[in-house]
A and B are shown apart, each in its own frame.
Chain A
């Protein structure tokens, strides 16, 4: 490449991060297209683009996916609400009081060690395979990161701030309201946000395990998998993944936005 070409648009494109980032997915799509048109693999495994396009426009498929997403979200929000309520109470309580930490801490950490999906067989036995079971499961999943975030946040309140509160003669409640909570708020909000994404995938996992009959996008996908509708599986999984990624991206700036007052200090 000579000197003048070094600044040509083509050269700039080749070195742009955006272009380079798009290359691997584009290559993958080309490979996929080649594989389906030349029938290197069974269409049951890798769906041709045309079929995928048809499935995406099929009102029946669209309806079942949309309905699934809505019902999963309904349970997600209920479970998440319960989970973060319990999680905040536990985490803040354990952070504030050493005694409470000694009472609840070991049990919490023991429960935390259990891989999350291992709770499902037990929960289905106790709460059936309906909504209740999934809500309880999502609540367990949601509580985990919140407890840890709130605990860490409260524990890492700077000692100087606590001292100022003490000098000002703050009551315990005032201390909590004006010193500890503002100081731990960023950690707590980050935990809440992490917990939402974690709960989303936990809700999906529960629906996968519990299976076809239970409603929700996860069971729609599992049902399609049993009927070898690879196109629907692909659409569903893409939708699930994209929702998770979008939540992640959408919420990422939230702590910075909420706590911009902190940087002014």
Chain B
């Protein structure tokens, strides 16, 4: 699993989302099989006995597992040693045990799940609004050269300015309530999605459109049967990037200006020097980012399975 992650990295989108718009969708399918998993069937096919391949697997797998464990384990060891010997005071570096205990504590006390729920609900709202607007803008930009010529240049300037940079200004205009968060999340989602969707529509082979014209398809059928399926891989990538950006943007706003949510829980715990809670929050934020990305990747490869049959 982790080696599969290592092999498939897309450059992070910081404005130039269009550059990596088209990852080969086939890669998503291949990448889920890790190296060890790929070697297994071959080994099993060669040896008639059950234990022999198992032994070979152990012998082959042990150094591999050691490699995977080396760095995380040494970090854990240093951490454990540094906090255990009071090399650093425990309010600066809480021990691994304390962090785990506070994780369980927060889980049972309901504090963290409450804040987490608020954050996730916000993400759902921001993503919903952002996906609708982003898709609409992307289709308009991609399908209508006139719309592109009026709106495109301004949009491409706006794309280069991350919403985080605009927060102080938006705080004056929108206050620090939910409207600020919704605005920033929506913008974070619209930008990559619209860029990639417009590119996807523009890159539909002209021959397809010609066929559609020859067949005298109605506008609706044209969109439903030609444009949408043609742009689907790009749209799927855009959705994934958009949702990832929503999460990053929400954490940023919550850290900066919020009275609830996981970002707020983190800054507040920092102020009262409960770094164990801060560490739990950091881990959770990473975990959620990863799960969103992973879930959407799975959905994407499932959605685009029909392309493999061509």
A: residues with CB less than 8 A from B are 17, 20-25, 44-46, 94, 99, 101-107, 109-111, 113-122, 124-126, 144-145, 148-149, 151-152, 155, 190-191, 194, 197-198, 201, 204-205, 208-209, 221-222, 224-225, 228, 230, 233-234, 236-237, 240-241, 244-245, 248
Contacts and interface: CB of A to CB of B under 8 A. Distances in A.
25 contacts: A20-B153, A21-B152, A23-B150, A102-B67, A103-B67, A105-B2, A106-B6, A106-B68, A106-B71, A107-B75, A110-B286, A116-B248, A117-B256, A118-B251, A118-B285, A121-B278, A122-B275, A122-B279, A148-B12, A151-B9, A194-B14, A204-B164, A205-B252, A221-B168, A225-B168
Contacts of A194: 11-12, 14, 16
B290 A113 contact: yes
Given A117-B248, A117-B251, 11 more contacts: A24-B154, A101-B6, A104-B71, A106-B6, A113-B286, A115-B252, A122-B279, A124-B270, A198-B14, A230-B172, A233-B169
Contacts of A197: 14-15
A202 B273 CA distance: 24
B148 to A, nearest CB: 9
A20 B150 contact: yes
Interface stretch (B125-133, B155-163, B235-243): B155-163
Nearest to B149: A20
A140 B70 CA distance: 22
Given A111-B286, A149-B11, A94 B6 contact: yes
Tell me the dominant secondary structure on chain B's binding face.
helix
B225 to A, nearest CB: 31
Closest 5 CB pairs of A and B: A21-B153, A105-B6, A121-B270, A115-B251, A106-B2
Contacts of B285: 114-115, 118
B149 A208 contact: no
Given A99-B67, A102-B3, A121-B266, A209 B255 contact: yes
Given A233-B169, A237-B168, A118 B9 contact: no
Interface string B256-272: 10000001001101100
B284 to A, nearest CB: 9
Contact of A122 (B2, B12, B172, B278): B278
Contacts of B151: 24
Nearest to A226: B168
A244 B287 contact: no
Given A45-B173, A125-B273, A237-B168, A113 B92 contact: no
A44 B172 contact: yes
A145 B270 CA distance: 28
A11 to B, nearest CB: 14
Nearest to A247: B160
Nearest to B255: A117
Contacts of A228: 172
Contacts of A222: 168
Given A105-B5, A241-B165, A126 B286 contact: no
A108 B150 CA distance: 42
